Amino acid sequence: MKQPVRVAVTGAAGNISYAMLFRIASGEMLGKDQPVILQLLEIAPALDALKGVVMELEDCAFPLLAGIVQTDDATVAFKDVDYALLVGSRPRGPGMERKDLLEANAAIFSAQGKALNDVASRDVKALVVGNPANTNAVIAQRNAPDLDPRNFTAMTRLDHNRAMAQLAGKTDSTVNDVKKMIIWGNHSSTQYPDLTACTVNGKPALDLVDRTWYEGTYIPEVQQRGAAIIKARGASSAASAANAAIAHVRTWVMGTDENDWVSMGVYSNGEYGIAKGLIYSFPVTCANGDWSIVDGVDVSSEFSKEKMAATEQELSEERDAVAHLLP
């Protein structure tokens, strides 16, 4: 049996975590031969609820679950962690402006970035799920100067999966037939689900669907899927978000399939002209535990240029709104 790895999860008593922790403990994220120690972070008022979740984890008697830490101290939760899933964040309260929300989260993710910097493994793989995910990831990354910026990623895998499922439905195929999907930019309604490179059963997706459907129905439906779920379910997507977080980390560790890629919010070094330092969703391949942005995707159309710039603009504005709080 391998040595256990340490996996921190924040917001561990929340909805997404409830749909995620049991799957991590059963080996779905890191493999059925990889024991895990779960290091769970919550705010003090939620520690009782967390205790209940931990009791249930114990009651599953997972063979791979090698230990559980419960704490409201980030330096305890992140001690020596190999993986950090940053799920907990401040939701928008009544009367709260977008700027207040950004600032409240900047405080949380600054503290968590510093704690990761101080106590996590130098190779920690951090995934930010809590919204605004991309900007929270920038804040954590900027507060962790001793860690490689490439260790910080933001989740757009749920958007990627939503885009695959919608396209498969429209083309009467399955998600297995859909390759080379791309979500560019922010995990928000400005994201750009791009079918330019996408294929279904080896055929260009844009030859199979109407341009009007693509621009007028498909893109807005993928962008607004989260809101549609809240409307239908009366609660936000938790199981599908948990599933995407597991898939994101799993792909990062185990690699992408040959001739395919995934979408991940990753640190921009200026690729595709996107401002350096933003955490922007790109098509990436993963191998040997590392990610690389796919080179040479055709983004030359006016449509693509406009959409990629609009979501970049939003990310720049989010970062500028908290710039005074960044080191």
Does residue 256 belong to the site contacting ligand NAI (CB under 6 A)? no
Q: Least separation, in Å, of the C-beta of 238 and ligand NAI?
A: 5
For the bound state, the minimum distance from the C-beta of residue 273 to ligand NAI, rounded and expressed in Å, comes to 24
Interaction of residue 189 with ligand NAI, rule CB under 6 A: no
15 annotated ligand-binding residue: yes
Is 90 known to sit in a ligand binding site? Answer: no
Residue 35 engages ligand NAI in binding (rule: CB under 6 A) = no
Total binding residues toward ligand NAI, as defined by CB under 6 A = 28
**Residues 9, 312, 159, CA angle at the centre, nearest 5°?**
50
Binding mask 127-146 toward ligand NAI (x if CB under 6 A, else -) reads --xxx-x-------------
Sign of the C-alpha dihedral, residues 285, 122, 126, 56?
positive
For residue 315, the number of C-alpha atoms closer than 13 Å in the C-beta half-sphere is: 34
Query: Binder to ligand NAI among 70, 71, 89, 285 (CB under 6 A)?
Result: 89
Task: Based on the shown chain and the rule CB under 6 A, indicate whether residue 268 belongs to the binding site for ligand NAI.
Answer: no
The residue at minimum Cβ distance from ligand NAI is: 14
Other C-beta atoms closer than 10 Å to the C-beta of 312 total 22
In what helix (H) or strand (E) does residue 147 lie, and over which residues does it extend? Answer: none
Residue 21 identity: L
Nearest to 263 by CA among 151, 165, 153, 184: 184
Query: Looking at beta carbons only, is 24 or 129 nearer to ligand NAI?
Result: 129
Q: Which stretch binds ligand NAI (CB under 6 A): 6-14, 56-64, 272-280, 300-308?
A: 6-14
- Cβ proximity to ligand NAI: between 11 and 185 the closer is 11
Question: H-type helices in the chain, by residue range?
Answer: 15-25, 47-59, 74-77, 98-119, 133-142, 157-170, 205-208, 211-213, 219-223, 225-233, 239-254, 302-321
In the residue annotation, 187 being an active-site residue is answered as yes
Least distance from ligand NAI to the Cβ atom of residue 309, Å: 22
Nearest Cα to 82, choosing from 128, 39, 113, 42? 39
For position 11 contacting ligand NAI by CB under 6 A, the verdict is yes
The answer to whether 129 and 153 are in contact (CB under 8 A) is: no
Q: How far apart are CA 286 and CA 288, in angstroms?
A: 7
112 is in an annotated binding site: yes
Residue 270 among known ligand-binding residues: no
Residues that are catalytic: 187
Where do contacts with ligand NAI occur on this chain (CB under 6 A)?
10-11, 13-17, 41-43, 46, 87-91, 108, 129-131, 133, 155, 158, 187, 236-238, 241
